[in-house]
C-alpha cells in the first residue's frame, strides 16, 4: 500500500496539461500540496480549477513562469515550499522535440533550443530545488524512450534526453548524503497534448500498435503512477524507469524476425489448449 503524501509539498513544472497535469493530479489525490508552474497563466488557472473539481480537498496553487528563467523557477519553488515549511517533491516535465527533421537540417539555434528545453530546464529546476529540500525529498524528471532508442528525425531531442538521464545519475550521487532522491521516468508514445493529434490518423494508430507490444500509445496517468511511486520511495535513486508499453522490447525486432525465420517452424503452440 502506498503511503499518504499528506504534509508534503510538490512543484510540477509544465503542470498545465498532459503528463504534468496528470502527475499533479496523482500527487494531490494522495494528499500533497501542489504548485503548478507553466508559462500561460490562463491555462494554469484552468488546470487548477480542474484539479479542485476532481479533488475538492486538494491544496493546489499556481506559479506562472518560464522553466528557462532561473528567477521565475526559484519563485515557484519558494511558493511550493511556503505551503509546508519546505519542498519535498519536484516533478520536472518541461520538454519537447520542437519538430521532426534530419540532424543536418538543424542549425546551432534550433539544436540549442531543443537542448535548453529538455536539459537546461531540468538543470535549472534541480539547482533551485536543492536548497529548499533540507528535510530530504524526491526529484523526478521526465525523460523519453528516445534517450536509449534514438529516432532518425529527433536526434537533438534524443541527445537531450540521454544527457538528462546522465545528469539524473550524477545528481543522485551528489545528493544522496542530503537524502534527496533523483530519478527519471522514461515515457514511450503517450497521448499527451503535444502528440495526441497523431493518434487520430489511421496509419499512425496502426504503426503504434505494431511497434508497442502492449498495443498502442499510453495514457499520461500511467506515467503519473510511476512518478507517484518515485515521489514516495525512500530507497530508489539514480534510476530511469521506462513506462512505454514495452517499446524497448521492440529493439530486438530484427533479431526476433531472424530467429523466427531460422527456428520458428515445426513447434507446437505452447499456449494452445491441450487436445
Q: The domain containing residue 134 runs over which residues? A: 9-243
CA distance 138 to 220: 20
| CATH number of the CATH domain containing 92 | 3.40.50.720
Which of 92-106, 173-187, 210-224, 234-248 has the weakest average pLDDT?
Answer: 210-224
Can you state the percent helix, strand and coil of the chain, rounding each to 5? 50, 15, 35
CA distance 169 to 152: 26
Whether residue 248 is contained in a domain is answered as no
Long-range contacts at 66-73 (CB < 8 A, ≥ 24 apart): 66/39, 67/13, 67/14, 67/37, 67/39, 67/92, 67/94, 67/121, 67/124, 67/125, 68/116, 68/117, 68/120, 68/121, 68/124, 70/124, 70/127, 70/128, 73/13, 73/37, 73/124, 73/125, 73/128
Sequence-distant (≥ 6) Cβ neighbours of residue 232 within 8 angstroms: 2, 3, 5, 30, 138
Whether residue 37 is contained in a domain is answered as yes
Residue 91 to residues 104, 216, 236: CA-CA distances in angstroms? 33, 25, 15
CA distance 39 to 84: 24
Whether residue 125 is contained in a domain is answered as yes
Catalytic residues, which ones? 157
End-to-end CA distance of the chain: 42
Q: Determine what percent of the chain is predicted with pLDDT higher than 70.
A: 84
The answer on pLDDT for 106 being more than 80 is yes
Whether residue 29 is contained in a domain is answered as yes
Q: How confident is the model at residue 271 (pLDDT cuts 50, 70, 90)?
A: low
Grid coordinates representing 111 are 539544436
pLDDT at 28 (0 to 100): 98
Q: How confident is the model at residue 3 (pLDDT cuts 50, 70, 90)?
A: low
pLDDT at 217 (0 to 100): 77
CA distance 70 to 165: 21
CA distance 187 to 19: 10
Grid coordinates representing 271 are 499456449
pLDDT at 1 (0 to 100): 41
For the chain, the domain total comes to: 1
Whether residue 123 is contained in a domain is answered as yes
Dihedral pair phi/psi, residue 18, rounded to 5°? 55, -135
Whether residue 57 is contained in a domain is answered as yes
Whether residue 254 is contained in a domain is answered as no
Longest distance between any two alpha carbons in the chain, whole Å: 70
Give me the mean pLDDT over the 80-86 stretch.
95
pLDDT at 185 (0 to 100): 98
Highest mean pLDDT among 112-116, 189-193, 255-259: 112-116
Amino acid at each position: 500500500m502506498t503511503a499518504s503524501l499528506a504534509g508534503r509539498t510538490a512543484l510540477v513544472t509544465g503542470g498545465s496539461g498532459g503528463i504534468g497535469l496528470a502527475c499533479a493530479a496523482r500527487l494531490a489525490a494522495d494528499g500533497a500540496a501542489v504548485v503548478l508552474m507553466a508559462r500561460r497563466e490562463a491555462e494554469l488557472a484552468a488546470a487548477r480549477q480542474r484539479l479542485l473539481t476532481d479533488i475538492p480537498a486538494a491544496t493546489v496553487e499556481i506559479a506562472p513562469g518560464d522553466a528557462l528563467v532561473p528567477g521565475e523557477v526559484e519563485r515557484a519553488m519558494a511558493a511550493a515550499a511556503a505551503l509546508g515549511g519546505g519542498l519535498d517533491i519536484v516533478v520536472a516535465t518541461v520538454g519537447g522535440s520542437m519538430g521532426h527533421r534530419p540532424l543536418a537540417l538543424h542549425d546551432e539555434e534550433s539544436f540549442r533550443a531543443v537542448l535548453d528545453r529538455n536539459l537546461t530546464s531540468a538543470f535549472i529546476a534541480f539547482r533551485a530545488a536543492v536548497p529548499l529540500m533540507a528535510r530530504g525529498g524526491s526529484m523526478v524528471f521526465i525523460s523519453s524512450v528516445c534517450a536509449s532508442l534514438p529516432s532518425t528525425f529527433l536526434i537533438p531531442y534524443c541527445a537531450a534526453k540521454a544527457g538528462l538521464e546522465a545528469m539524473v545519475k550524477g545528481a543522485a550521487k551528489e545528493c544522496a548524503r542530503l537524502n534527496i532522491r533523483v530519478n527519471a521516468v522514461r515515457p514511450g508514445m503517450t497521448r499527451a497534448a503535444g502528440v495526441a493529434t497523431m493518434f487520430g490518423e489511421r496509419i499512425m494508430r496502426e504503426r503504434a500498435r505494431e511497434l508497442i507490444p502492449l498495443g498502442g500509445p499510453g495514457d499520461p496517468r500511467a506515467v503519473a503512477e510511476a512518478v507517484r511511486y518515485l515521489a514516495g520511495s525512500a530507497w530508489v535513486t539514480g534510476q530511469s524507469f521506462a513506462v512505454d508499453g514495452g517499446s524497448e522490447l521492440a529493439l530486438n525486432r530484427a533479431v526476433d524476425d531472424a530467429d523466427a525465420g531460422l527456428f520458428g517452424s515445426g513447434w507446437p503452440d505452447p499456449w494452445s489448449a491441450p487436445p
